[in-house]
Chain A
Amino acid sequence: MHLRQLIQPTGDWLDAPSPRRVAQVAGAAVAGLAIYGFTVGFWRDPLMGIYVAIKMPLLVALTLACNGLLNGLLGLLLGTGLGFRQSLLALLTAFALAAVILGSLAPVTFFLAWNAPPPDAPGAANAHAAYLVAHTVLIGFAGITANIHLHRMLAAKAPTRAAATATLLAWLGGNGFLGAQFSWILRPFFGTPTLKVEFLRPEPMSGNFYQAVWHSLGTISGGFPVPALVIALLLLAAPILHAIQTKHPKP
């Protein structure tokens, strides 16, 4: 498999979800995420880099494994005509594309980590904040691109554009919902300078991502978490919906 096939899949890409193809795409996703993950954790500590290189592919694998049945059922019920293995290949391809994008940026992010003030330096807090923002922007870009890509693949297979959009949104909702909780369980990824380097925080299964975010939204919005949540969701959804509307108009 060439990278070009992954980035520019043909219309029949999902027709042959052979174990070999699935394994190749999974391999690309693991490689990209591992390389990028290493650069994410490297700033805190090289050991942290190794941990994150393991945890990033693990995050995707756990999400897809736990939601595999649901994704397959939704793909069939929402009318794309995709079977279970085709759904898995479509989602893996999207994750692999995001991984390839992030992996290709890994030299840049490694350079960023290399040049940032060390975690024990006086300006570490600011460096940490800037580091977080930079990676959030990159991951956001890769995620949005991958979802647009996924919609393109679905639209090529689905009988109607509405079916492709509904399936994309259902998958996005389901995987995003569970993936966020897995990211909570598998934390830390960036490595807060004041906390020690470890693979998982103590009692990783204790706690819930959404309750913590809800509390944070309440704090930063002065007790009005609902408007803050609506604004955050609109900011996340707007670029995806805009891209779907403009890049894939109705035939």
Chain B
Amino acid sequence: MTTPETASPAQAPPLEAPLPETLDLKTLFEALLRRPQALVVRLAESNHGATGRFALMTLLSMLLFGFVLGCFAKHEQLWAAPAKVTAGLIFAGLICFPSLYIFATLAGARVTISQLAACLAGALALAGLLLLGFAPAVWIFAESTDSLGFMGTLAIGAWIIAITFAFKFLKSVIDSTGGTQKSPMIIWSSVFLLVTLQMTTSLRPILGRSDHLLTQEKKFFLQHWGDTIGTSLKPQTQNVPAPENSRETPPTNEGRNPFLEN
């Protein structure tokens, strides 16, 4: 029996065959995860029809993830949160697309507008798929906690991880189309991330509840997060003493100790 230490090292993968003529959802899903380079080459050809399918994947996954976020506050947020999350991402993609083309060209990439649009849609679809992967865990916490700060941190954390892989895909697009400069895409990625983070404040409330569907008050997202991180979805009971040395609102289960209820 060969132990893993003595096993032969992993062989180099064989040369990749081109992607099939018809790019259905399954093929695109596989290609996004396993063969991003081959996908970029295929997207350079005309009539791939991938942009619409990627957009559909993005739409469905963001709607589902938004619904999971809406489960935190329930009521009208069950439909408002998916609508806001999806609309926010589409809006962010649209307003950032012109700069993506310019920055990609600055980086040295030789990519057409339609190819880049398909690649951006693919990147967002990849982020959406990853968010779907996070969705069960987020739902568990949405049903378990009342802390807006905790849920917000969890959702933003999942988004940052998901969008990091989307940026990685876009980087491979730039690299495989002749791009040599790194800094333009780093700057664009930072801008896109900031835009999506600002969406969490511009479209508020997404997690919590309000009398208004949207608010007109202008705020920077860091200020909004700072204002809400210590708050709870439910009003605090008066008979729970606040912990010493803590200026934050105590979480609803702060008196419960997992090591005393084991």
Contact = CB atoms under 8 A, between A and B. Distances in A.
Q: Do A and B come from one complex?
A: yes
Interface of A: 4, 8-12, 65-67, 69-74, 76-77, 81, 132, 152-153, 155-159, 174, 177-178, 181-182, 184-185, 187-192, 195, 201, 205-213, 215-216, 218-219, 222-223, 251
A156 B10 contact: yes
20 contacts: A70-B130, A71-B133, A73-B129, A74-B133, A77-B130, A81-B13, A152-B4, A157-B10, A178-B136, A181-B140, A190-B262, A192-B260, A207-B253, A208-B144, A208-B145, A209-B258, A210-B150, A211-B251, A211-B253, A218-B243
B260 A215 contact: no
B140 A158 contact: no
Nearest to B153: A210
Interface string B214-255: 000000000000000000000000000001111000111111
B212 interface: no
Contacts of A152: 4-5
Which 5 A-B pairs give the minimum distances between C-beta atoms? Answer: A11-B7, A70-B133, A223-B245, A66-B136, A207-B253
Contacts, number: 133
A188 B261 CA distance: 6
Interface of B: 1-5, 7-10, 12-13, 33-34, 129-130, 132-134, 136-137, 140-141, 143-145, 147, 150, 165, 168, 243-246, 250-262
B34 A215 contact: no
Nearest to A8: B3
B262 A70 contact: no
B261 A187 contact: yes
A71 B145 CA distance: 24
Contact of A212 (B4, B246, B256): B256
Given A205-B144, A213-B258, 11 more contacts: A10-B4, A11-B8, A157-B10, A174-B137, A178-B137, A208-B251, A211-B147, A211-B150, A211-B254, A215-B255, A223-B246
Contact of B261 (A159, A195, A215, A251): A195
B262 A208 contact: no
